[in-house]
Structure 1
């Protein structure tokens, strides 16, 4: 399976700055999605799997801090704040909200992309067993597209693998069915909510073979699914 380009959501209302960021991210192999308002950004997070958000603090419709707060409810990916103000108050507020980094304007696009890479390396580069908890519960060989659970190698179809890999990337994060469709299907429009539910049911059956008395996939009614933090 070819490696997919990681999607980075760029939320910036100044087009010249956004164009520079988008170009730099594309050059570094990312798939940038640009939105210039907080509401548009939140709409993307509700329907699309995003690896990281580059978020301007001063947006025309709402504060970047408010966007971050709302995004937290959606199981937000890592966030890098952009701001014209480098004051300590802004920095503290941003980091307390759960931001992973903070960049003051003007900034070097190369520096920003380096920070994006560093954060995603920290988020994705850890062994899956560490991300999901102690005890060697999970193993994930991304190069071979193989996932193991409690010492058992799972026999997964392509869509099952992609769906479980998305959940495994952020244990505890709630993914909507639309986000899982985007992650697991080449054409998300060809899948439906019931398609996702059916694949989750098949995954659970395979996971039960390894641990009959435990279900690591949590259903959040009306929201979607998450992987239990073990």
Structure 2
């Protein structure tokens, strides 16, 4: 199936109020440009070096999402242009993002990563850790960091009821955090969950942002 058909098929299943992030890690500049030419503007990358190489040679109105595990040493490489950092889970990382964003004279949007899966390979704060962080972390010390919401990845399993339950629990936590108004409600608007295999479940649970790679670009 051609790229245009795969893209149209994916788009058809995503409501207009949900942001589609095309996961373009390991994909060529030409592949990304082809999808851009079809109208896609949000792209997600997992590796800082790869993102640094692609960003200058692709259209400057692309909204680049960093969706991998970000080490503090790499923050400085993506802060000048990144649209949204999806996986923030520590004070030290927030401190580094603040430092680099201040130096660039800009604000950087981030999502707090929540651990919802039944597998140890996933990153994130537990719901209890996140509730504690909202009360104890020095959020006012990071004025150049805008917390836009939360993100989480479900367990990689064929059990769709388990995945559905994990998404619903994250959606409930997001709603709870919005009600506390630690962050302004009109800022804390993003619930990022759902990938190629479980987009439908994520959207049904209330996701505002999904990350899709294989279903668009096809498996290698």
TM-score bucket (shorter structure): 0.3 to 0.5
Which structure has the greater CA radius of gyration?
1
Higher RCO (CA-CA < 8 Å; seq separation 6+): 2
TM-score (norm 1): 0.33
